[in-house]
Structures are given as C-alpha cells and as structure tokens.
C-alpha cells in the first residue's frame, strides 16, 4: 500500500466534515495525510493539526470542511501517483535549497530539514507499518531519492531508508533517528562470531558519524544475518567523501548487536550493495537533471561576444550531449528501480539492471559534470555557486556500494559464464 | 525539466515474448536450411527475395497497419521485437526493411486510396523493395537545398536532376523522394519541396551503382531525365514536404538498428574469451553490456511512445546519437579487449573477420539517417536553445 492510498482509505473511512475531531491513525496514514496536506493542488489547504506522535501512533485533529474533503477525495489527487514525491520535493525546496545552504555555511539547516523529513514519514518510508515505518512502496521511495538527488540532498535520508529496508528484510523494527548501512563496499565484510557478536571493518560507510544506528549484513557459520547495532558499539574513524560528507571507516570488534536475525533465503551482502547501487544511480540521475536545468538556463543568460552563449553551436552541442547523458542516466536508473520494485529475488536479470544503472550513471556523471562546468566557466568553479554541490555529489556517489569498475567486472563475469549465445536473450529479456 | 528526458521504463507485454519465440524459431530454421549465415554480417548484402516472402507470409511485415491493406493491426512494440531479433541474427532484411519501417507508414498517411490498396499489401507480402530519395550531390544535411525539379505537365510532373547515396535503388521497385516544385520563399526556406512516390521502372530513370569502402555495393546515384510522375503519385501537400518529415524521422531514428549494427562483434568477443575472463576483459565486457542495456531500454521506451501515438522526435534523436556513436566505437573497444585472447581460440578467425568488416562500415553509422551534428541540433532545439 502506498502512502497516498493509505491516507485516502483512512479519509474515506473516518474523516467526516466534523470540526475538531481527534483521530488516532497509523504511521502510514499519517505520512500520507501529511503528503496530502502539503500537496500544492489542494486548495484551500486542508486543516489538520499534527499532534506529537506517541511510540506506536500519530494523532491528528481534523478541521476539514466540505471543500477540503472533496478536494482530497477528488480525482486530481486520487490519480496523482507521485503525491509522496511531490511532498518530499516541497520539503527539499523549502528546507534544502542549495543557495541557502551555501549562505548559512554553519550547518544550521540540517536539523529542521531532518525533522521535517522524519515527521513526514519519509526517513522510514521503506519500513512496513508493523515495524514502525510508514510502509511506502519501493517505487515511491525510489522516486523520493531521485528527487533528493535533484536537490543534492546532504542528510542521510537515502542511508536511513536503506537501513530501514535492510532491517525489515530481517523482520527487525527500525529505531528512530538517522541510520546507515554496512558494509558499503564489496571489498569489506562483517563476520558474525559464534557468540553472536560482530567483527570486521567496513570502509566508506556514508554518514556513519551522523547516524545513531547501523544496519549490518553479516556472514557467519550458519549463513547471512541482518543486525542492528548502536554506533557506540563500534569505532568510527574520520573520513570525508569527495563532496565533503561523512564517509567513515567502521570497525567492529566483538560488538554485541541490539538485534540479530537471519536474512531471508538468497539474501546476501550483494543484495544490499545492489540496492545501494540503484539508490545511488537515482541520486546521480537526479543531480544530472538539475545540472542540465541550471546549465541550460545559465547559457541563455550569459552573454559573450554580444550574444547569449546558448547561440554558439559548440555550446549547443555540448548541452545536447549533457541532455543525452542525463537521459541515459535517468533511463538506466528508473529501469533498475522498476526492476527491483517488481522482483522477488536478485536474479541475473535484476543484476543486469542494477549493475548497468550504476555503471551507466557513473559514466554519465563524469561526462555531464565536465560539460556543466565547461559551460558555466569560472563562476561554476566558485564555492558560492551551487553547481559544485551537484557535481561533487554526482561524482562522489559513484564510489558508494562498489564503484563502476568493480561492478563492470562482476557483470562481465556473469555474461561470460552464461556464454556468448545467452547474452542477447538476457538483454532482450528486459 | 524537459519532457524529452522522460524515458519511462516500458516493459514489453507478454504477446511480444510469444512473438519473440516464434521469430527465433523461424530464424533458427532459416539458418538451418542455409538461407543465411548469422556469423556473416554482410550476408545482409544479399537481396533475398524468397526470405522476404517467407517473412511476409509469417505476418511480420506491416505488423501495425490496417488489415484492409494487408497489415496485422498489432502493436508497434511487436514490430520492435521482430526488428531486433532479425537485426541480431544478421538476417537478410534488405528487400523489405525500408518499406516496412518508413515507406509504408508514409504511404498510409499520404497516398491516395488506389495506391495504398495496390502497394501496401505487396509490402506486407515481402514482394516490394523501397528506397529513399532525399540526398543530392549539393544537398545532404541541408535537405532543403534539394534541386531535383518536378515541372508540372499534363496529368503529372516531369522530373529532372540527380539523387545520390540512394541505398538499394538498384534493386528497388519504388522510391519515396522529395523534388522541388517551387522555389523557397523569403520567410521559409523549407518551402517548395514535394514528396513523390516514384516507380523505378519509369522511363527516364537511370541507376548508377557507387562502390563503398567496405566493399559493399549498397548505394547509388539515380539520374532523372524527363521522368514522368502521374498526379496521383504526389504524397501529401504540394510544396509542403517539410511538414511531413518529422514523424517519419522518429520511426527512422529510434529503432534497434541504431545501436545493433555491429553487435555481432560483442557476441563473438564473449565467445572467444570464454567462461573465465580475467579482470580486464570482464570489466570491458561489463561496461559494454551496461551501455547496451541502457540504450535498449531507451529505445524500447521510444517504441512505447510511438505505440502510444506520440511523436518523440527529440527522444529518437537522443537514442540515435548515443546509439550510433556506441555501435561505431564497438569494434574498436572489442579490438582492445581481444588483444590478449589466446591465439589458438577456435573462433578467433571469425572474430577478426567480423572486426575488419565492422571497422570498415563504422564511419557511415554516424552519417546515414542524419549526422551526429544534425541530431545534436535537434536535441538543442528540444532544449529551447534554437
Ligand atoms: C551508407 C549510407 C547510406 C545512405 N543512404 C541514403 C539513402 O538511402 N537515401 C538518401 O537520401 N540519403 C542516403 N544517405 C545520405 C545521408 O543521408 C547523408 O550522407 C547525410 O544526410 C549527410 O549529408 P552529406 O553526406 O551531404 O554531408 P554534409 O551535409 O555535407 O555534411 C558534412 C559534414 O558537415 C556537417 N554539417 C553539415 N551541416 C552542418 C551544420 N549546420 N552544423 C554543423 N555541422 C554541419 C555534417 O554533420 C558532416 O559532419 C546515405 C549515406 C550513407 C553514408
């Protein structure tokens, strides 16, 4: 069930046009309602007040009048599948504006942004309601992360969502607050010891220093397990990504997890990494979309030799290439997201989709960032300009969950092992 | 965000997968009976009339067209599947490819009923071959510089001038061509060209073959000397050909043939490398497959748009730009990766032969059907830059 459908069914069942009723609702319906409240097409705005949440449930007061209810129930919203994404975009636009972030410089924008995201149920979007989340579909969540990429979002939303998803695979409920996942590289592994503790090292774990908990895939004598650990149970060393974000080495020495559950059959460390690849691909594609947008706009504004630089054919062709690379990245990432959303297991076909997305988006990131900077000239090289927030993140995201070189080797091995005459059938099966 | 970037993740419906099985079985059977060799890409050179008729008999030509013209009223996505399977198998499609892809759709839209009833069923039966007469010695990318003249006479037009690079003109029954019926106007330099259906048996038409650097003889010079075209062979609006070209280009530019032209070298590379590649070979192959998969997903997405009745001209230009550059570079990348293949591997001679051929045809891929530069101009226009 998606946010929007939860919210709608709730509204149909409960909200009559009675003023000032107190309702107790589930997290999913709550998140959906918030999305609806913030939906730009709802006018006049719906009148719900949000009460402080209890552990299991949210309460709201509704002051909905007849018009408002009709609006909610009306076709325009009912047909909008992107209501969750649109709600997320509103939060990003209000609280994660790149220019504003550069202006404030001190990081004071982070807390309000994070609070808004978690209040809207987005941080635990991929956690089912029975595990304390808002139970959005995978597709909705992927859409949110694509949008996060468009805003070069620099809080651990993707990581917390991934962690929530991973924990849910093991039937573990998600705690509150920021999380991340480990391992974040195919070259690391965490071992489950016989006594139920965890040992090992994970490098390049995104946002570990800003997280309260870490969701871990560990391998032991009896197979693969999923664990929840408190950050105080491990050592976290300093480290920054290309974009200046926390990217840390995590060391576990006989660390006792808060929870430990066997992973589902066929679930491996690669399942987590591939899911991470698709998430990063969508973020890269989103960053490229905005890069294209602002680069085209700038080329129409900047005058050189007495005309807008967009009138020079060399510049036009560069922008056409930027558009093609952006299109390729988006196509690869959304196809992979669609594949994972509709797959039950990580078979060869899903591997092809997820790996291809990571490779193609990473390649596009190199080409697209190069063109975006070239067209911007010197201004794009300044710290005040927002371009670097997009370009450095697009480039940095290539490194997480296995870079494109690693995955190209894996894909190449898979293709060769299947044999020459099985290559086309695999490609054509998508 | 510009709409041209939305390449929705279209999945081929179940009927396409059924059809794919039938096409594969048919092609396997044709290969078994020696109609063509799938390892010989230039077998496509061969104009195979009997093969064309058997494809037609299967119901795979004019798949999307109305039944009354011999078509099958199936979806554009089904046509996509037939096209890609034929392409990957290196099947000899020369006789029907252009007619099925673009000439038929033009006739459907602009030809008088009598002509539709006459020609379309024969295309569907795999009996007629078409060529495209756009380029001239003085007019390539700039199509609107075309000079070949159509002068009004009793009951029709007299054509004088020369078309060039006309693929298949030497075997074609018909050509769809643009001729100049009026000079361009001051405010519209695209004005004045008219689309015609040309019967290649018309007196006054001479076809002179032109040899290609690849050793193939695909294209020709076509000279018109007072060749008579009856009035009902005018397609669409007189002087208004420029309004008619757009949707044709979306069909012409986004198909699987725009990135699969040299695909066979990748298959053969994987065969020569075997099941246990070293990291270098594996990485190279992995990247190529990722790029291939992405282009195909984009191309299927455009097919979905065409199927939904849209005119994805900019999206098609994006697919052709990325796709043709990829298929052009592919033989060079495969050559890099084949450098360390064991000299005793049995299929190495086949791979080398294919590489030589693919390398020789590679230069044309970014020229035919609209050059890279022309495509980027179209994309730039889609971005609102011109
Ligand atoms: C194998 C093959 C088969 C063909 N088959 C057919 C066919 O069946 N029917 C048919 O009608 N034609 C056919 N063509 C011709 C093809 O459509 C033309 O070659 C193509 O349109 C380019 O025209 P041109 O060769 O005259 O090059 P030109 O237009 O002279 O271009 C030369 C170079 O200049 C560049 N250029 C031109 N104008 C601009 C501009 N405004 N801005 C930037 N760069 C520019 C081009 O991109 C190109 O790089 C075929 C060509 C080939 C190679």
Total number of residues shown for chain B: 386
B337-344: long-range pairs with CB below 8 Å, 24+: B337/B269, B337/B273, B337/B280, B337/B281, B337/B284, B337/B285, B338/B269, B338/B272, B340/B278, B340/B280, B340/B281, B341/B272, B341/B273
Give the CA count within 13 Å in the CB-facing half-sphere of A122.
31
Between strands B130-133 and B174-180, the pairing is parallel
Work out the pLDDT band at A35, boundaries 50, 70, 90: low
pLDDT at B159 (0 to 100): 98
Is the CB of A427 inside 8 Å of chain B's CB atoms?
yes
Do both B359 and B262 map to the same domain? yes
DSSP helix/strand/coil, B235? strand
Of the candidates B59, B58, B65, the one whose C-alpha atom is nearest the C-alpha of residue B105 is B65
A contact test, residue of B3, B4, B7, B9 with most A CBs within 10 A: B9
What share of chain B has pLDDT > 90, as a percent?
90
Do both B137 and B221 map to the same domain? yes
Tokens 């069914």 locate to: A9
pLDDT at B45 (0 to 100): 66
B99, B135, B146, best to mutate for ligand 1 pocket (most atoms within 8 Å of CB): B135
Residue B248 lies in a domain: no
Give the burial class of A222: count Cβ atoms within 10 A of its Cβ; 0-12 exposed, 13-18 middle, 19 or more buried.
exposed
What average pLDDT is seen over chain A? 88
Give the burial class of B119: count Cβ atoms within 10 A of its Cβ; 0-12 exposed, 13-18 middle, 19 or more buried.
buried
Tokens 């989103």 locate to: A286
Q: Which ligand 1 atom minimizes the distance to the CA of B132? A: 9
DSSP helix/strand/coil, B8? coil
Do both B260 and B377 map to the same domain? yes
Do both B86 and B120 map to the same domain? yes
Of the candidates A132, A118, A113, A123, the one whose C-alpha atom is nearest the C-alpha of residue A160 is A123
Q: Which ligand 1 atom minimizes the distance to the CA of B167? A: 8
Q: Which ligand 1 atom minimizes the distance to the CA of B370? A: 21
Helix (H) or strand (E) holding B193: strand B193-199
Do both B214 and B279 map to the same domain? no
B contact test, residue of A138, A143, A310, A327 with most B CBs within 10 A: A327
What does the alpha-carbon distance between residue A54 and residue A76 come to, in Å, rounded to a whole number? Answer: 32
Averaged pLDDT, A310-327: 98
Averaged pLDDT, B357-371: 96
Give the burial class of B224: count Cβ atoms within 10 A of its Cβ; 0-12 exposed, 13-18 middle, 19 or more buried.
buried
Residue B128's Cα: distance from chain center in Å? 16
The CATH architecture annotation of domain A154-267 reads Beta Barrel (2.40)
> Where is the domain boundary, B108, B128, B148?
B128
> Where is the domain boundary, B240, B264, B298?
B240
Give residues (CB < 6 A) around ligand 1: B 131-135, 140-141, 165-167, 219, 364, 367-368, 371, 373-374
The CATH fold assigned to A274-428 is: Butyryl-CoA Dehydrogenase, subunit A; domain 3 (1.20.140)
Q: Give the nearest chain B residue to A422 (CA atoms).
A: B267
What does the alpha-carbon distance between residue B214 and residue B41 come to, in Å, rounded to a whole number? Answer: 12
- Please say if the pLDDT value at position B375 is more than 50: yes
What average pLDDT is seen over chain B? 95
Answer left, alpha or beta for residue A374, where phi above 0 means left and psi between -120 and 50 means alpha.
Answer: alpha
Work out the pLDDT band at B381, boundaries 50, 70, 90: very high
What does the alpha-carbon distance between residue B66 and residue A130 come to, in Å, rounded to a whole number? Answer: 54
Is the CB of A411 inside 8 Å of chain B's CB atoms?
yes
Averaged pLDDT, A139-155: 97
Residue B175 lies in a domain: yes
Give residue-wise pLDDT tens across range A220-267. Answer: 999 999 999 999 999 999 999 999 999 999 999 999 999 999 999 999
pLDDT at A83 (0 to 100): 79
pLDDT at A37 (0 to 100): 58
Q: Give the nearest chain A residue to B321 (CA atoms).
A: A324
Nearest CA to ligand 1 atom 23: B140
Interface pTM, i.e. ipTM: 0.96
Count of C-beta atoms within a 10 Å radius of residue B124: 26
Do both B51 and B144 map to the same domain? no
What does the alpha-carbon distance between residue A149 and residue A113 come to, in Å, rounded to a whole number? Answer: 15
Q: Which ligand 1 atom minimizes the distance to the CA of B98? A: 8
What does the alpha-carbon distance between residue B328 and residue B306 come to, in Å, rounded to a whole number? Answer: 26
- Please say if the pLDDT value at position B353 is more than 90: yes
Of the candidates A164, A165, A168, A162, the one whose C-alpha atom is nearest the C-alpha of residue A184 is A162
* CB-closest option in A319, A331, A410 to B294: A331
Give residue-wise pLDDT tens across range A292-304. Answer: 999 999 999 999 9
Total domain count, chain B: 3
* CB-closest option in A289, A324, A359 to B286: A359
Residue B249 lies in a domain: no
Nearest CA to ligand 1 atom 13: B165
Is the CB of A416 inside 8 Å of chain B's CB atoms?
yes
Report the range of poorest mean pLDDT among A30-34, A318-322, B341-345.
A30-34
- The CA–CA distances, whole Å, from A200 to A246, A252, B33 equal 20, 5, 60
pLDDT at A375 (0 to 100): 98
- Closest chain A C-alpha to B242 CA, distance in angstroms: 23
Residue B247 lies in a domain: no
Do both B42 and B142 map to the same domain? no
| Comma-separated ranges of CATH 1.20.140.10 domains in chain A | 274-428
pLDDT at B330 (0 to 100): 98
pLDDT at A42 (0 to 100): 47
What does the alpha-carbon distance between residue A6 and residue A22 come to, in Å, rounded to a whole number? Answer: 18
Do both B35 and B63 map to the same domain? yes
Of the candidates B383, B184, B98, B97, the one whose C-alpha atom is nearest the C-alpha of residue A300 is B383
DSSP helix/strand/coil, B377? helix
pLDDT at B143 (0 to 100): 93
- Closest chain A C-alpha to B194 CA, distance in angstroms: 30
DSSP state of A56: S
A324–B322 C-beta distance less than 8 A: yes
B283–A409 C-beta distance less than 8 A: yes
pLDDT at B248 (0 to 100): 73
pLDDT at A46 (0 to 100): 46
A contact test, residue of B4, B5, B258 with most A CBs within 10 A: B5
A300–B298 C-beta distance less than 8 A: no
DSSP helix/strand/coil, B203? coil
Is the CB of A89 inside 8 Å of chain B's CB atoms?
no
Do both B18 and B122 map to the same domain? yes
Q: What is the B209 CA–ligand 1 centroid distance (Å)?
A: 18
Judge whether B115 and B69 are in contact, CB under 8 Å: no
What does the alpha-carbon distance between residue B341 and residue B307 come to, in Å, rounded to a whole number? Answer: 43
Residue B343 lies in a domain: yes
Nearest CA to ligand 1 atom 12: B135
pLDDT at B363 (0 to 100): 98
A323–B4 C-beta distance less than 8 A: yes
DSSP state of B178: E
What does the alpha-carbon distance between residue A401 and residue A347 come to, in Å, rounded to a whole number? Answer: 18
Between strands B205-210 and B193-199, the pairing is unpaired
Work out the pLDDT band at A39, boundaries 50, 70, 90: low
What share of chain B has pLDDT > 70, as a percent?
98
Task: Report the number of secondary-structure helices (H) and strands (E) in chain B.
Answer: 12, 8
How far the first Cα of chain B sits from its last, in Å, is 17
What does the alpha-carbon distance between residue B293 and residue A336 come to, in Å, rounded to a whole number? Answer: 11
pLDDT at B138 (0 to 100): 97
> Where is the domain boundary, B112, B128, B144?
B128
DSSP state of B65: S
Of the candidates A101, A84, A11, the one whose C-alpha atom is nearest the C-alpha of residue A48 is A11
B279–A311 C-beta distance less than 8 A: no
Angle among Cα A139, A140, A145 to the nearest 5 degrees reads 95
Between strands B234-235 and B193-199, the pairing is antiparallel
* CB-closest option in B88, B321, B385 to A319: B385
Tokens 């970037």 locate to: B5
- Closest chain A C-alpha to B12 CA, distance in angstroms: 8
Q: What is the A320 CA–ligand 1 centroid distance (Å)?
A: 19
Q: Taking the CA atoms of chain A, what radius of gyration do you get in angstroms? A: 22
CB contacts, 8 Å: A323 with chain B: 2, 4-5, 318, 379, 382-383
What does the alpha-carbon distance between residue B197 and residue B178 come to, in Å, rounded to a whole number? Answer: 9
Give residue-wise pLDDT tens across range B40-93. Answer: 888 666 789 999 999 999 999 999 999 999 999 999 999 999 999 999 999 999
- Closest chain A C-alpha to B46 CA, distance in angstroms: 24
Helix (H) or strand (E) holding B219: strand B219-230
pLDDT at A23 (0 to 100): 54
Strand boundaries in A161-245, DSSP class E: 179-182, 189-192, 198-206, 213-220, 223-230, 235-237
DSSP A156-178: THHHHHHHHHHHHHTTPPPPSS-
Give residue-wise pLDDT tens across range A95-108. Answer: 999 999 999 988 99
Q: Which residues span the domain enclosing B68?
A: 7-128
B129, B130, B139, B140, best to mutate for ligand 1 pocket (most atoms within 8 Å of CB): B140
Of the candidates B65, B73, B146, the one whose C-alpha atom is nearest the C-alpha of residue B99 is B65
Nearest CA to ligand 1 atom 37: B141
pLDDT at A246 (0 to 100): 97
- Please say if the pLDDT value at position B250 is more than 80: no
Total number of residues shown for chain A: 430
- Please say if the pLDDT value at position B247 is more than 50: yes
pTM check: above 0.80: yes
Give residue-wise pLDDT tens across range A42-89. Answer: 443 444 444 444 444 454 544 455 555 555 555 344 444 577 898 899
What does the alpha-carbon distance between residue B54 and residue B63 come to, in Å, rounded to a whole number? Answer: 14
| Comma-separated ranges of CATH 2.40.110.10 domains in chain A | 154-267
What does the alpha-carbon distance between residue A34 and residue A28 come to, in Å, rounded to a whole number? Answer: 10
Q: Domain with B185 in it: what CATH number?
A: 2.40.110.10
* CB-closest option in A319, A324, A356 to B293: A356
């Amino acid at each position: 069930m998606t946010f929007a459908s939860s919210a709608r069914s709730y509204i149909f069942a409960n909200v009559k046009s009675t003023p000032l009723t107190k309702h107790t609702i589930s997290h999913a319906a709550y998140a959906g309602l918030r999305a609806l409240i913030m939906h730009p097409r709802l006018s006049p705005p719906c009148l719900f007040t949000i009460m402080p949440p209890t552990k299991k449930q949210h309460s709201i007061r509704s002051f909905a009048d007849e018009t408002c209810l009709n609006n909610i129930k009306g076709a325009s919203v009912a047909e909008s599948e992107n209501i969750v994404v649109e709600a997320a975009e509103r939060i990003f636009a209000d609280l994660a504006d790149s220019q504003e972030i550069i202006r404030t410089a001190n990081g004071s924008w982070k807390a309000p942004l994070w609070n808004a995201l978690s209040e809207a149920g987005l941080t635990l979007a991929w956690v089912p309601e029975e595990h304390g989340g808002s139970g959005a579909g995978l597709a909705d969540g992927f859409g949110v992360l694509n949008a996060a990429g468009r805003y070069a979002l620099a809080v651990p939303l993707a990581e917390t969502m991934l962690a929530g998803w991973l924990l849910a695979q093991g039937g573990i409920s998600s705690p509150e607050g920021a999380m991340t996942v480990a391992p974040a590289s195919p070259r690391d592994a965490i071992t489950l010891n016989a006594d139920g503790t965890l040992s090992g090292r994970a490098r390049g774990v995104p946002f570990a220093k800003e997280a309260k908990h870490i969701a871990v895939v560990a391998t032991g004598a009896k197979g693969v397990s999923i664990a929840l650990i408190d950050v105080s149970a491990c050592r976290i060393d300093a480290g920054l990504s290309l974009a200046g974000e926390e990217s840390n080495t995590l060391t576990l020495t006989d660390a006792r997890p808060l929870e430990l559950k066997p992973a589902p059959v066929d679930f491996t460390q690669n399942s987590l990494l591939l899911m991470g690849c698709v998430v990063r691909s969508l973020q890269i594609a989103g960053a490229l979309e905005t890069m294209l947008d602002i680069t085209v706009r700038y080329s129409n504004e900047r005058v050189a030799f007495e005309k807008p630089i967009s009138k020079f054919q060399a510049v036009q062709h560069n922008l056409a290439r930027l558009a093609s690379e952006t299109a390729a990245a988006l196509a690869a990432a959304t196809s992979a997201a669609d594949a994972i959303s509709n797959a039950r297991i990580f078979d060869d076909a899903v591997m092809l989709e997820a790996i291809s997305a990571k490779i193609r988006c990473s390649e596009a990131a190199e080409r697209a960032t190069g063109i975006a900077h070239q067209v911007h000239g010197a201004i794009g090289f300044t710290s005040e300009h927002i371009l670097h927030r997009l370009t450095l993140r697009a480039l940095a995201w290539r490194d997480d969950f296995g870079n494109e070189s690693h995955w190209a080797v894996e894909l190449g091995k898979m293709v060769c092992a299947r044999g020459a005459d099985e290559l086309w059938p695999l490609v054509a099966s998508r | 965000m510009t709409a041209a970037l939305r390449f929705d993740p279209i999945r081929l419906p179940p009927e396409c997968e059924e059809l794919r099985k039938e096409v594969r079985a048919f092609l396997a059977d044709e290969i078994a009976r020696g109609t063509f060799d799938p390892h010989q890409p230039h077998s496509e050179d061969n104009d195979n009339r009997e093969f064309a008729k058997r494809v037609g008999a299967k119901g795979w030509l004019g798949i999307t067209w109305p039944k009354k013209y011999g078509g099958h009223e199936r979806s554009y996505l089904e046509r996509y599947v037939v096209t890609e399977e034929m392409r990957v198998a290196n099947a000899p499609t020369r006789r029907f490819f252009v007619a099925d892809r673009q000439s038929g759709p033009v006739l459907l839209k602009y030809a008088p009923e009598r002509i539709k009833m006459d020609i379309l069923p024969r295309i569907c039966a795999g009996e007629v071959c078409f060529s495209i007469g756009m380029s001239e010695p003085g007019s390539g990318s700039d199509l609107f510089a075309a000079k070949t003249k159509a002068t009004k006479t009793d009951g029709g037009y007299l054509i004088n001038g020369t078309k060039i690079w006309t693929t298949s003109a030497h075997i074609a029954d018909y050509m769809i061509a643009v001729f100049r019926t009026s000079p361009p106007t001051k405010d519209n330099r695209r004005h004045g060209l008219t689309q015609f259906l040309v019967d290649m048996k018309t007196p006054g038409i001479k076809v002179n073959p032109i040899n290609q650097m690849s050793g193939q003889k695909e294209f020709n010079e076509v000279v018109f000397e007072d060749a008579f075209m009856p009035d009902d062979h005018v397609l669409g609006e007189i002087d208004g050909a420029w309004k008619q070209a757009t949707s044709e280009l979306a069909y012409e530019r986004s198909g699987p043939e725009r990135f699969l032209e040299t695909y066979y070298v990748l298959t053969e590379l994987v065969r020569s490398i075997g099941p246990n590649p070293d990291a270098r070979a594996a990485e190279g192959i992995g990247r190529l497959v990722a790029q291939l998969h992405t282009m195909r997903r984009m191309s299927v997405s455009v097919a979905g748009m065409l199927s939904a009745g849209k005119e994805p001209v900019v999206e098609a230009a994006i697919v052709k730009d990325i796709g043709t550059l990829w298929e052009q570079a592919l033989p060079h990348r495969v050559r890099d990766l084949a450098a360390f293949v064991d000299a005793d591997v049995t299929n190495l001679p086949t791979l080398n032969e294919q590489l030589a051929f693919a390398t020789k045809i590679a230069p044309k891929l970014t020229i035919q059907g609209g050059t890279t530069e022309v495509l980027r101009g179209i994309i730039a226009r889609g971005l609102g830059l011109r």
